Structure formats: structure tokens, C-alpha cells
Amino acid sequence: MTSAHSSTCDTDAPHPPIGTPPAQHPLSHRLVLIMATATGLGVACLYYAQPLLGVLTAELGLSAQTVGYIPTLTQLGYALGIIFLAPLGDRHDRRVIILIKAILLTASLLAFGLSSHLSALLIASFAIGLTATLAQDIVPTAATLAHDTQRGRIVGTVMTGLLMGILLSRVFSGLFAEQFGWRSVFVLAAVSMALTGAVIWRTLPHVAPTTTLSYGALMRSLLALIREHSALRRAALAQGLLSVAFSAFWSTLAVMLHAEPFEMGSAVAGAFGLAGAAGALIAPIAGHLADRHGPQAVTRVGTAVTTVSFALMCAGVWLAPTPQLVVLAVATLGFDLGLQGTLIAHQTIVYGIAPEARARLNAILLGGMFIGMSLGSAIGSLLLDRFGWLGVTLLATAAAGSAFCLRMLPPPRSA
């Protein structure tokens, strides 16, 4: 083991002075894999409930609009956690923050799995979203520890873990719930997060604070960053629009498939995550392309692919059930490829703006993304209840198309 490797992975190494970025050494493949896995398991907690919404609708006697509050509050909690908690990563050791959130997330998952009333489920859903933001403490940590010439690739690899967690969580949840009941999903998820917290505590190096700002000043600096950097504003808005489309689809798919003419269970809804999971493989490739050729072209191609995929899905509404399922699977693969490639390119843009403020920059970008997801869940559930699947797919196409138009504008000067 080289000395460079040892210094990167030594959890007892002394902290560099505040405001000084850590020395950049090659990251071990083991540490990158651990960060990717922990990120995926953390963010997966946001999505375990989505394939189960049809089951919960029947079990609790809820409407499609009412059961949609569960993913809406989870996404809202995540968005608020990113905005109000993630910036603390610039002020405190992220290793400690991740451990605290892992403990609280474990408790929140257990609370959801043991709840019997809608009000308790909604409170637990919000708490899950708030504490699952540990994933967004790990991503900027990877960007900070990575060498400048490898940042896109390493962030892309960690994001592959995050994206696989988003997509495969639905597969696991749907299949496991069908065999053992929906509560078992959340008990097992709680166990996984307890183990994740322990592993991260033992392996992740200390990351020294880069600022001594008070919490109030730290939060005010978010507004300063937004005002100062047009590239940041554009990235957050475009990713937020794509997330409206993404969340409108995933938060309503299980309910749509549970109803006529499909009448399918949670396992089928979860299996659609397999189509989307293939899209997660684009993350390291997108990071590599962004490193070599710049991220602007990646965002344009990604938003275009996403828009076309949702438009195809919209056109498939008039097909018979079996052909429509085929179109859904193909379009799911397409929009996940486009959305994930765009996200990696946006992160490459944002992380290059101000290295000493990466946790705050990440909070702004991902805050916009998950505000979009929260809106997508709420509006998508409302549209499904009132206008059916056509309303959902029209919303997704319009939101993705707006992101494409935004990215086709000339690059802002700070991009």
C-alpha cells in the first residue's frame, strides 16, 4: 500500500487548516466503492415506498391523490434537508454528520415500517427524506478528495451508486414486499443503514471544514452564491425541471399499473426500475465526457433524450396494454439515460465554481432537483387522479422540454 493511499484512508490523520482543501491523492478503488455503495443505500430510502403505493392505497382505502402525499413529503424532506443541513458539510467534519444522519435515518425507517395510520406514515416519510440527505454529504466529499483531473470520473462513479440506489430500490421493494409484506422492506432498510453508518465511520477519512462561518452566515452565503453564479442558477433550474418529470412518472406508475386495464402488483411496478437501472451505467461515461469535452454538450444531449423519451411515453397512451408496457420500458431506459447524464454534467459545472463551497453548491443544485421531485410527486398524483396517465405524461414531456430549451441557450459566463 502506497503512502498516498494510506494518507487518504487514514481516519485519524490530522486535519488541515480550515479553508485549505485537503491534499489530493489517488483515491483507492475500495474507498470509492464504499462511498458509492453508501450513497446508493442512503438515497434508496427515498424510493422504497413508491412501488408500494398501489398496495397502500388498497390497504388504507386512500385515493391516488392522498397516497401521493407519502412520496411528496419524502421528497420535500429531502429538499429541505439538502438546503438547510447539507451546507453544514463546509462547516463541520462530514464524517461525523454522515454518522448522525445514518442513526436518525435508521430510526425513521423503523418508524415507517411499524406505523399503522396515514398521519404516522406521513411524519415518518418526511423524517426519512430529511435524514437520507447523508447521500448528499458523501458526493461532495468524493469531489473534495478526488484529484482535479479525475473529479468527473470519480463523482460519476459515486453517482452511479446513487442512481442505482434510486432505481434498484424500486425493484427490491416491489419484489420483497410481494413475498414478505411491505413492512419488511423498511425493517431491512433500517438494518442496512445501521451497517452503512458503521462502515462509513471506520473507513471515510476526516474532511476538514473549509469555513468558520456561523450557521446563519452559511445560509446567507447560499443566496450570495445563487446571485453571483448564473451557471449555478441555470443548472439548478434545469435539473429541477427534469426532476418534475422524473418524479411525476415514478410516483404514479405503481398506482397506474395497479388499476385497470393492467391490474398488476408491486413487483411489476418495481421491475421497471431494472430498465431505468441500465441508465445508471451512463454516469461514469458522462463524467468522462464532461472531463474531456466539457459539460455543456452533455446537458443538451441529455435533456433532448429525456424529452423525446417522455414524448414517446405520451404517444403510447393510445396503444393496447401490452404494446404500451413495451413503450413504457423503452422510454424508462431512455429518460433515465438522459436525466442521469445531465445530472453528472451539471455537477461537473457546479463543483468547478468554488471549490471551498462544494457542500453549499451541491445543496443548491440538489435542492433545486428535489424541490422539483416534490412538485412532480404532488402534481403528478393530482393529474393521475383527474386526467389519468395522459395528464402525467404530458406534464413530464413539458417539464423535460423546458429543461432542454434552457440548456440550448448560450452558456452563461460563469459556466
Give pLDDT tens digits along the chain (415 positions).
333 333 333 344 444 444 444 445 567 888 999 999 999 999 999 989 988 887 887 787 777 678 888 888 998 898 889 888 888 888 888 889 999 999 999 999 999 999 878 889 999 999 999 999 998 899 888 878 877 667 667 877 887 888 788 778 878 888 888 889 888 999 999 999 999 999 999 998 887 787 888 888 888 989 999 999 999 999 999 999 999 999 999 888 878 887 777 777 666 766 676 666 666 666 567 666 666 666 888 899 899 999 999 999 999 888 888 898 889 888 988 898 888 889 888 988 888 888 778 878 888 998 888 789 889 988 998 999 889 999 999 999 999 999 999 999 987 664 4
Whole-model pTM over 0.85: no
> Which distant-in-sequence residues (6+ apart) come within 8 Å of 14 by Cβ?
none
CA dihedral sign, ordered 219, 224, 225, 226: positive
Domain ranges in the chain? 28-408
Residues 6+ apart with CB under 8 A from 327: 312, 313, 315, 316, 319
Q: CA–CA separation, 122 vs 312, rounded Å?
A: 34
Q: Are 128 and 77 in contact (CB under 8 A)?
A: yes
Rounded to the nearest 10°, the torsion over CA 303, 307, 308, 310 is 140
28-408 CATH: 1.20.1250.20
Q: What are phi and psi of 274, to 5 degrees?
A: -65, -40
DSSP assignment string, 70-115:
HHHHHHHHHHHHHHHTGGGGGTS-HHHHHHHHHHHHHHHHHHHHH-
